[in-house]
Structure 1
């Protein structure tokens, strides 16, 4: 069976060390590409392009797209003033991942958004974000396990049919829903933990947690299966 080509967004860091080198680099935690590989896909890393318009041509050559977790989305993108607890802006990454997401939607390519990827999807569709909430991450770089409950009748419930404990690390979340998006999982405190875009055909799913930090392959296996067509 052919392994589908799944692109994963990456990000630029100005000061990365490896070996004797210390340079700007495009980086991504290894858990993302390993998750795709373990689920039966070929993983391709997608560094930000200075021209986001290239995203459409790039996505056309892929079978599926994953938008990765990372820093806060710039509040100006959803018409909000900056909360003091919101992190610094990454405009190039915002533009690149929004372009990748838009291209995947336009071309009906299977899309899985992870954490920030969910937030990018919601903002791209005209939604807004809560800029700070407590209880969904541990100390710095510590993922906090908590339970999410799938919504009956959703794509997510078909993939994860029962409540599941997930590794979480976020302090922002969905406020107003973007156009056409529906919640497909909630945390015990009522926070939206997954979104999807129902379409007659296609796979558009985004989760607020970090599957790359666990051993549950069902989400990426579902993406890979959709990418196979």
Structure 2
């Protein structure tokens, strides 16, 4: 059987399709398509009460925390920078609970962009609230830049060469969370991947594999979930 990979979703107060405009839990199609291309079955995980996270994760073979809005700075003990976006408190609470449940149960976990940042925060790390040069100047599009792996890490073994990736973020890891190690950098020193170097399969990438043709990162999650 193909492994079942749960992907967290956005929760939007207003979304439009057809003749409808109403609250919606949604996810860009690139995420489930990447899971499917990598050999898994995709299940969407809309925000729920954090107490439900362990029960949800128990029914999954792997978890993906998707990209999205800025993490509320109070989650890592900081005052908001004026350039930090509005909070998504319900999503923060749900996804932090999913991360905690995945780590506690040993369920393979992949954090993408915001998901990497949340993994760091969940383990006691902090975030740099603004940096320039990692978004496209054209709204609604992704920039691209090369990412250099750290050899000998899980990410470095998956993607051993310098690799140009799609990127869209203005925040990143500052102080590392407990137990995490950096496994890739951008040319300017920005952290582009973190992981737990223990038997638990937990990896975060700051870039967006769902917007690339390369499936190596997701295939590794699906394999671990198998």
TM-score tier after normalising by the smaller chain length:
over 0.9
1:145-167 C-alpha deviation (Å, 9 max, x unpaired)? 10001101100011101110000
* Separation in structure 2 between the aligned mates of residue 144 and residue 22 of structure 1, nearest angstrom: 30
Name the counterpart of 2:74.
76
Structure 1 residue matching 2:54: 3-state secondary structure: helix
| Equivalent position to 2:65, from 64, 67, 70 | 67
1:143-158 equivalent positions in 2, closer than 5 A: 143-158=142-157
Is contact 1:202–1:226 with CA below 8 Å preserved after alignment?
no
* Separation in structure 2 between the aligned mates of residue 69 and residue 120 of structure 1, nearest angstrom: 10
Higher alpha-carbon deviation: 136-145 or 182-191: 136-145
- How far did residue 132 of structure 1 move? 0.2
Name the counterpart of 2:4.
5
Name the counterpart of 1:122.
120
Structure 1 residue matching 2:102: 3-state secondary structure: helix
1:175-186 equivalent positions in 2, closer than 5 A: 175-186=174-185
- How far did residue 33 of structure 1 move? 0.4
- Superposed CA RMSD in Å reads 0.6
Structure 1 segments, 4+ long, off by >4 Å, are none
- How far did residue 43 of structure 1 move? 0.1
* Separation in structure 1 between the aligned mates of residue 211 and residue 171 of structure 2, nearest angstrom: 19
Please list every run of 5 or more consecutive structure 2 residues that lacks an aligned counterpart in the other structure: none
Name the counterpart of 2:96.
98
- How far did residue 19 of structure 1 move? 1.4
* Separation in structure 2 between the aligned mates of residue 126 and residue 223 of structure 1, nearest angstrom: 24
Structure 1 residue matching 2:144: 3-state secondary structure: strand
TM-score by length of 2: 0.98
- How far did residue 105 of structure 1 move? 0.3
- How far did residue 202 of structure 1 move? 2.8
* Separation in structure 1 between the aligned mates of residue 68 and residue 21 of structure 2, nearest angstrom: 22
1:145-202 C-alpha deviation (Å, 9 max, x unpaired)? 1000110110001110111000000000111000000000000000010000111x23
* Separation in structure 2 between the aligned mates of residue 94 and residue 75 of structure 1, nearest angstrom: 11
1:1-229 equivalent positions in 2, closer than 5 A: 2-49=1-48, 51-139=49-137, 140-199=139-198, 201-228=199-226
Structure 2 residue matching 1:103: 3-state secondary structure: helix
TM-score by length of 1: 0.97
Structure 1 residue matching 2:43: 3-state secondary structure: strand
